[in-house]
Structure 1
Amino acid sequence: MSKSGTKMRLSEAKTLELIDLYRREECLWNSRLPVYRYKTKRNEAIERIVKELNVRKLEAHHVTTKIKNLRNSYCAELKKMSGGRRRDSFKPKVWFAKMDSFLRAHVPCPTPDATVMPSLPNVKIEIVSDSEESESNVTENNKEDLQSLIRTIEKLSEQLKTRTTRKQDVFDDFGTYVASVLRSLPSERAMALQPKIISLINSSDDIKYEYN
């Protein structure tokens, strides 16, 4: 069998590790960087990922194919979110939150909702069963409060977006990421974090900033 025809399967743990390494190598996905245009630099980044994964017989073309497949799957998940089904019943895979935390602004995935990329309200991330078991014991009021917190974070993200000429920036990415992390936690734990997050934001005047 030719080199291009060989296949390599990665475990779920290695796939999640691959996503983390992919995020670290911005030249592979951040089209705003000048280095994104240099194939040599992208190839070097792929080789670093191969070395870090340390999987027997894994080669650069396997990693390239796996990344391409993950991006295609990511776009497919976004299309499902923007489709006719209710978004509160939609359950993307665990890896989706990882990729969505950095990739959404850089992947031109076409959606039925023309101009604005859908955000993440009411998305439930599939996590381990003990978290689901914990969530079942939370009262309906607590669930509503959690959704209110998530909507507040996303509203802040939208407000930040209107203050810049760019469609999306690091603040939007951060707001989306915080929302996705909260959804991936047991509801009781996410609720406990709510006052801490608000307290940190309200105390921002007391923080001393250092600029490079």
Structure 2
Amino acid sequence: MSDAETVTLLELYQNKPVLWDPTRDDYNEKRDSRAVAARKIAAVMTIEGFTDIHVIMNFKNLRSSYTQEIKKIAESKKSGCSSNEVYVPKVAWFKIMDSFLKPHVKARKSQSNLVNNEVHQPPIFEEAKDENEPQQQTNSSTEKQVEVNEEQLLTSKETERQNTPPKRKNMESIITGTYKKKSPVENSVSSAIQKLDKISKRAANATASKEDCFDHFGKYIQSLLWSLPKDQSSQLRSDIISMI
């Protein structure tokens, strides 16, 4: 994304507190609202292939970079440099992100237990903790909750994509088990079998319908034998055989 697109993304994100403000009641309770908000941002961005998943992932990366920028500022102040030498972030998106995310980031001093020596270390920045949370939670609980919510949102989108019904043609093939494209070899064999069946039927029909004079003569003799008494038909049959 370009700097201009990144700034636009953060401006839109700023208008959707449900995506970044962990102190809101609906931040943890209404994951669907977060998904809807992310989809609206993706639609306004009008970037080809840019979805609500990209919105969440890009902001997550920007938030990590933002925390690093704040850490650099704190380190430069701790080093004892003059106000003119304090680190100033040069990224175009820092000011707008700082304007709405800063209240949810706080410094936690890191202390050393070395005997008789106090060591000052740069503060560690993390997401602000919800005042209504139980005291036994760690200082990084809110940040972890932010990441968990984002992971849940990304996971739900992936599950939705996997559960999307297949195209109608593929669905019919799954149900009937008949959708299968024949290979050229299978088509050739099937065609040859059909041709052989046709040739066999034509040959059988030709044999059945082709009768000559001998066939007719044989049938005539047969009819005569059936019309004579048994002793005469037997004698005539013997005479015919002896003549042949």
**TM-score normalised by L of structure 1:** 0.46
Rg bigger for which structure?
2
**TM-score normalised by L of structure 2:** 0.40
